């Protein structure tokens, strides 16, 4: 019997704002659990399969942003349904072919326990491989953002980095970040919550007032 109904999938998916589902799992760096990341931000991502071309380019890309993620108190953790030995062999091959040392661990989710908890398998696309999912989990172990890409499209590492910076900027300054925001740009001030607050917005000195519902603020 098929594990999924591919017309309407019955899989539970975590959502933004949920507590990150707990996991303990084998990786190529030994066993790892969610509690190992308490007090840190975590980018948990899945890839379809070891020894595949798009995934290989992504691993090189993830490694490129890893030092900058570290500076943001953020860890990287990969996942696929391949074995620890497969991860070891593939990472050795990436190191040889691309002169890149992959420093972050990768979960070997052979029994699909973690991928099912996180809704990483898109049965309409593949019942055996994980899709290109990205979960940004904050230092309180809450899911702050979720991105999904299909099997055939490699992710944009600079966008993942930008997303972590944007989320941390929101936490630090109590602001939102506008379209295409980059570190150093002005942020968006939360809209007024009352008629009275709206009327006073134009008098506020520390903001760039555009209209009652949109103002920007320098946060550098
Ligand atoms: C790839 O990484 O190249 C890939 C993996 C699964 C399906 C399609 C492409």
Which residue ranges make up each domain of the chain?
2-155, 174-217
CA 106, CA 185: separation in Å to the nearest integer? 34
Which CATH topology does 174-217 take? Antioxidant, Horf6; Chain A, domain 2 (3.30.1020)
Residues with CB under 6 A from ligand 1: 48-49, 52-55, 151-152
CA 10, CA 4: separation in Å to the nearest integer? 7
Q: Is 89 exposed, middle or buried (0-12, 13-18, 19+ CB in 10 A)?
A: middle
Say yes or no to pLDDT of 2 above 80.
no
Q: Is 132 exposed, middle or buried (0-12, 13-18, 19+ CB in 10 A)?
A: buried
Q: What is the DSSP letter of 185?
A: S
Taking each helix axis from N to C end, the angle separating 84-98 and 53-71, rounded to the nearest 10 degrees, works out to 80
CA 202, CA 210: separation in Å to the nearest integer? 8
CA 170, CA 175: separation in Å to the nearest integer? 5
Ligand 1 probe mutation, 46, 50, 55, 81, most atoms within 8 A of CB: 55
At 12, the pLDDT band (50, 70, 90 cuts) reads confident
Ligand 1 mean position, distance from CA 120 (Å): 15
Contact 69, 75 (CB under 8 A): yes
Annotated binding site for substrate: 132
Q: What is the mean pLDDT of residues 106-116?
A: 97
* CATH topology agreement for domains 2-155 and 174-217: no
Annotated binding site: 132
Which pLDDT does position 1 carry in this prediction? 41
Say yes or no to pLDDT of 4 above 90.
no
pTM here is 0.94
Query: What percent of the chain lies above the pLDDT cut of 70?
Result: 95
Say yes or no to pLDDT of 89 above 60.
yes
Can you tell me which atom of ligand 1 is nearest the CA of 53?
3
Ligand 1 mean position, distance from CA 176 (Å): 35
Ligand 1 probe mutation, 152, 153, 154, 155, most atoms within 8 A of CB: 152
Is CATH 3.40.30.10 correct for 2-155? yes
* Six token digits for residue 152: 């055939």
* Six token digits for residue 36: 């190992």
């Amino acid at each position: 019997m098929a594990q999924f109904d591919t017309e309407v999938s019955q899989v539970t998916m975590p959502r933004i704002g949920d507590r990150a589902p707990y996991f303990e799992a084998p990786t190529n760096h030994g066993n790892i659990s969610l509690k190992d990341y308490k007090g840190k931000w975590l980018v948990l991502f899945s890839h379809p399969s070891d020894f595949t071309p798009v995934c290989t380019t992504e691993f090189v890309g993830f490694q490129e942003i890893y030092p900058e993620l570290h500076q943001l108190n953020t860890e990287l953790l990969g996942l696929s349904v391949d074995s620890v030995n497969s991860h070891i062999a593939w990472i050795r091959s990436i190191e040889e072919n691309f002169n890149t040392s992959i420093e972050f661990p990768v979960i070997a989710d052979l029994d699909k326990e973690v991928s099912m908890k996180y809704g990483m398998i898109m049965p309409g696309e593949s019942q055996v491989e994980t899709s290109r999912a990205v979960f940004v989990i904050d230092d309180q172990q809450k899911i702050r953002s979720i991105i999904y890409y299909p099997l055939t499209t490699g992710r944009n590492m600079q966008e993942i980095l930008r997303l972590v910076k944007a989320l941390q900027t929101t936490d630090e300054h109590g602001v939102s970040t506008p379209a295409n925001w980059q570190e150093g740009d002005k942020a968006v001030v939360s809209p007024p919550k009352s008629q009275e607050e709206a009327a006073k917005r134009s008098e506020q000195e520390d903001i760039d007032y555009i209209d009652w519902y949109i103002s920007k603020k320098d946060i550098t």
